[in-house]
């Protein structure tokens, strides 16, 4: 997009097209011949990674939209149908949900890189502001996407975030009603969020084009902050930047694959596997990890309007960064004091993220106020003053003269670790009320995990003989019992099981007639009805429950792939009935359970030794029953777990091979550039 193109196609047809529409020349000058500073480090690969992640989100999103139903009665189940029945649906949905997290991770690294190297300074102010607009659009899009599965967190996120607008004096309530299309968050809200969630990514793509255009007009910044002065300072975008970006992208994809295939629910909240319930708010609601710093700022201000203004200002202030930073030296490399304050600022952001995940009480509130104040002080006081008082170190005369090859500094690694920690804070956010359930050994844990077929069959027996009286598993069909990766019943056994259940259907005369269940049928609702409330459906209960891991457990879990919080909790609950300790107050009609939040549980102890007959010689004990039925429910919640882990291994090995090849190709290509090994 800059300068006259020297592009001359060899092919006659392409020459014909080029005279009429010079698109080849545009691509050639923008992505092939475009001169890029030769000293860019790997922090510069995140621009390409972001473009790739946007493409991944749009492609998987379009595909998911083919199967999703934006209606309050069907949204939750249609997402579950994607996870269970659609070909590779689990893969596409986990790619999309974890892809959003990786998109934000890359965006934050990209933005911090811009801050460190002063990439927002003259003449790149518009480029930077477009970036802030992109972040704002991403925040809106991500929020509306999170509402779509219509779980508890979706519903209450929609309620809380739209209510931010009610803080506007005078017209606030009218605006909120307008946003909702009703008197509360409901079906009209879900429908419009779906529409906008589909639209905004294309708006993002449009602004990305402007962002790249502005980049190509001003040229890329580089670690020295010195503009390229001659051809010696630059290399052609292709192959040099292309191959380096490809290598960076391949490594980044390993991280994405790790989350998608091994810990796909790590960044989510168990509560969002509970269908939306407008009459009950979850005890502790937190946004996704990437909103946590802003959420902490919102809660730090003890005034409704003030909090909303602070929240909005914390993002808008970024747009003014080019003028708040008064230093004439661009790169943080030559600004020792700025560098110090930059890392303090990074730590403050991570700290705010942690505080955003914690309950708004006591020391957390006070710390959040201190850090919020610092956040604004950094922009409004420190940056303007630094430009006046800071003694900068000598800036090299040109990029070529800059022989200092900066190795990945300790500080940079700190940023990476910090951001990854921030990823983790979301999963540490459930308030600790009850005792921590003990960890069990599960056959389906870890990268090679597989279900124990005999255990699943025993668990199904326990479910049928005990649980199903009160609890349904309506997201499951009988046919699932014979599908690969499940309990391994034969189709004949499945047909026999299904035939034991009765279904009422209207015949062609309109009369209700009873028929036997068929393998294609879903499990029916439970037989017993309670006037006081329906016991939860158990289809996804293992993913809908969990417990706080705390620090440093939640960080370690990311590497050990500990994903069985829910299973461990369910086992502990089934075995956790005790005599209430002295002084414990229980609501009438409830029993004391050590692991149930609040301890008072309405369900009487369901299992006891000898309750269910086993035919395979397994011990008929409470302990065995609890583990078996939990394993069965873990499969019910994630029927494609085995396929997921198997594919994960293939994908990770493939990406490691690809990264290795790209690394050596990159080294070979860059050999032509003097001064590069």
Partner 1 sequence: MSSAEPTRRDFLYIATASVSAVGAAAAAWPLIAQMNPDASTIAAGAPIEVDLGPIASGQVIKVFWRGKPIYISHRTKEEITEARDVDVASLPDPEPDEKRVKPGHEEWQVLIGICTHLGCIPIAHQGDYKGYFCPCHGSQYDTSGRIRRGPAPANLALPPYEFVSNTKIRIG
Q: Would you tell me which residues interact with partner 1 (CB under 8 A)?
A: 59, 63, 66-67, 81, 84-89, 91-92, 246, 477, 479, 483, 518-520, 654-655, 657-658, 661-662, 664-665, 668
Cβ proximity to partner 1: between 247 and 364 the closer is 247
Please enumerate in sequence order all residues whose Cβ is within 8 A of that of 294, keeping only pairs 6 or more positions apart, or say none: 139, 311, 314, 315, 356
Cβ proximity to partner 1: between 61 and 151 the closer is 61
Residue 592 β-bridge partners: 600
Cβ proximity to partner 1: between 243 and 567 the closer is 243
Cβ proximity to partner 1: between 253 and 629 the closer is 253
Cβ proximity to partner 1: between 91 and 346 the closer is 91
Cβ proximity to partner 1: between 86 and 422 the closer is 86
Report helix, strand or coil for 512.
strand
Distance of closest approach, residue 66 Cβ to partner 1, in angstroms: 7
Distance of closest approach, residue 614 Cβ to partner 1, in angstroms: 30
Residue 367, both tokens: 């710390």
Buried b (16+ CB within 10 A) or exposed e, 613-630: ebeeeeeeebebbbbbbb
Distance of closest approach, residue 148 Cβ to partner 1, in angstroms: 17
- Side-chain half-sphere CA neighbours of 322 within 13 A: 15
Max Cα distance, the chain (Å) = 91
Residue holding tokens 């394993």? 631
Distance of closest approach, residue 485 Cβ to partner 1, in angstroms: 12
Tell me the C-alpha distance between 562 and 555, whole Å.
10
Q: Which of 126, 131, 123 is nearest to 106 (CA)?
A: 131
Reported in sequence order, the residue ranges of 167-294 that DSSP labels E, i.e. its strands, are: 234-236
Cβ proximity to partner 1: between 197 and 479 the closer is 479
Cβ proximity to partner 1: between 29 and 659 the closer is 659
Report helix, strand or coil for 623.
helix
Other beta carbons less than 10 A from residue 304's beta carbon: 14
Residue 37: which H helix or E strand, with range?
A: strand 35-37
Distance of closest approach, residue 481 Cβ to partner 1, in angstroms: 12
Tell me the C-alpha distance between 246 and 240, whole Å.
10
Degrees to nearest 5, angle at CA 126 with 3 and 249: 75
CA distances from 433 to 283, 548, 597 (A): 11, 9, 6
Distance of closest approach, residue 230 Cβ to partner 1, in angstroms: 25
Distance of closest approach, residue 59 Cβ to partner 1, in angstroms: 7
Residue 432 β-bridge partners: none
Please enumerate in sequence order all residues whose Cβ is within 8 A of that of 495, keeping only pairs 6 or more positions apart, or say none: 478, 518, 519
Distance of closest approach, residue 504 Cβ to partner 1, in angstroms: 18
Distance of closest approach, residue 476 Cβ to partner 1, in angstroms: 11
Cβ proximity to partner 1: between 89 and 472 the closer is 89
Cβ proximity to partner 1: between 67 and 369 the closer is 67
Q: Are 476 and 636 in contact (CB under 8 A)?
A: yes
Distance of closest approach, residue 187 Cβ to partner 1, in angstroms: 24
Q: Which of 298, 270, 265, 267 is nearest to 284 (CA)?
A: 270
Cβ proximity to partner 1: between 1 and 499 the closer is 499
Q: Are 204 and 114 in contact (CB under 8 A)?
A: no
The count of residues in the chain is 677
Distance of closest approach, residue 153 Cβ to partner 1, in angstroms: 26
Buried b (16+ CB within 10 A) or exposed e, 445-464: beeebebbeebbbbbbbbbb
């Amino acid at each position: 997009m800059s300068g006259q193109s020297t592009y001359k196609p060899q092919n006659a047809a392409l020459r014909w097209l080029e005279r009429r529409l010079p698109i080849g020349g545009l691509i050639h000058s923008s992505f092939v011949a475009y001169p890029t500073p030769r000293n860019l480090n790997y922090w510069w690969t995140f621009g390409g990674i972001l473009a790739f992640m946007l493409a991944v989100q749009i492609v998987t999103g379009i595909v998911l939209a083919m199967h999703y139903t934006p209606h309050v009665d069907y949204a939750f189940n249609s997402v579950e149908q994607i996870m269970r029945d659609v070909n590779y649906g689990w893969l596409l949905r986990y790619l999309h949900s974890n892809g959003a997290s990786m998109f934000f991770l890359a965006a934050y690294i990209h933005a911090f890189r811009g801050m460190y190297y002063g990439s927002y300074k003259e003449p790149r102010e518009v480029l930077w502001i477009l970036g802030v607009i992109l972040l704002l659009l991403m925040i809106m899009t991500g929020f509306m996407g999170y509402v779509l599965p219509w779980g508890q967190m979706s519903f209450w996120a929609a309620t809380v975030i739209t209510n931010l607008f009610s803080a506007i004096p005078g017209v606030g309530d009218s605006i909120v009603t307008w946003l909702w299309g009703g008197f509360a968050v409901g079906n009209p809200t879900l429908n419009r969020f779906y529409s906008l969630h589909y639209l905004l990514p294309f708006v993002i793509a449009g602004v990305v084009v402007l962002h790249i255009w502005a980049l190509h007009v001003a040229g890329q910044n580089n670690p020295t902050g010195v503009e390229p002065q001659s051809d010696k300072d630059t290399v052609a975008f292709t192959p040099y930047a292309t191959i380096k970006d490809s290598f960076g992208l391949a490594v980044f994809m390993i991280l994405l694959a790790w989350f998608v295939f091994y810990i796909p629910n790590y960044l989510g909240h168990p509560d969002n596997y509970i269908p939306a319930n407008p009459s009950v708010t979850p005890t502790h609601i937190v946004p996704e990890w990437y909103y946590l710093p802003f959420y902490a700022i919102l809660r730090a201000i003890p005034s409704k309007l003030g909090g909303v203004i602070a929240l909005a200002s914390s993002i808008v202030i970024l747009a003014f960064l080019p003028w708040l930073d008064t230093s004439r030296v661009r790169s943080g490399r030559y600004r020792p004091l700025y560098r110090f304050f930059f890392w303090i600022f990074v730590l403050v952001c991570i700290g705010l993220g942690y505080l955003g995940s914690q309950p708004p009480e006591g020391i957390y509130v006070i710390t959040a106020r201190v850090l919020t104040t610092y956040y604004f002080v950094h922009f409004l006081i420190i940056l303007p003053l630094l430009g006046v008082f800071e003694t900068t170190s000598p800036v090299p005369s040109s990029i070529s003269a800059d022989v200092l090859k900066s190795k990945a500094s300790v500080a940079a690694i700190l940023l990476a670790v910090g951001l990854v920690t921030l990823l983790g804070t979301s999963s540490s956010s459930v308030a600790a009320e009850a005792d921590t359930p003990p960890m069990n050994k599960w056959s389906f844990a870890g990268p090679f995990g597989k279900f124990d077929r005999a255990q699943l069959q025993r668990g199904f027996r326990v479910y049928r003989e005990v649980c199903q009286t009160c609890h349904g598993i309506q997201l499951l069909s009988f046919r699932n019992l014979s599908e690969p990766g499940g309990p391994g019943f034969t189709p004949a056994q499945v047909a026999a099981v299904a035939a034991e259940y009765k279904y009422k259907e209207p015949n062609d005369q309109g009369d209700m007639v009873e028929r036997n269940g068929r393998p294609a049928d879903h499990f029916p609702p439970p037989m017993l009805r309670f006037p006081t409330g329906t016991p939860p459906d158990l289809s996804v209960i293992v993913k809908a429950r969990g417990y706080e891991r705390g620090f440093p457990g939640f960080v370690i879990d990311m590497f050990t792939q500990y994903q069985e919080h829910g299973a461990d909790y369910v086992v502990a609950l089934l075995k956790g009935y005790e005599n209430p300790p002295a002084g414990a107050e229980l609501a009438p009609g409830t029993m004391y359970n050590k692991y149930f939040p609040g301890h008072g549980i309405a369900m009487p102890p369901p299992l006891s030794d000898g309750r269910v007959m086993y035919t395979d010689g397994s011990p008929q004990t409470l302990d065995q029953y609890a583990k078996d039925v939990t394993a069965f429910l873990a499969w019910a919640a994630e029927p494609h777990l085995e396929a997921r882990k198997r594919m994960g291994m293939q994908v990770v090995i493939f990406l490691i091979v690809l990264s290795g090849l790209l690394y050596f190709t990159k080294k070979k290509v860059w050999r032509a550039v003097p001064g590069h090994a």
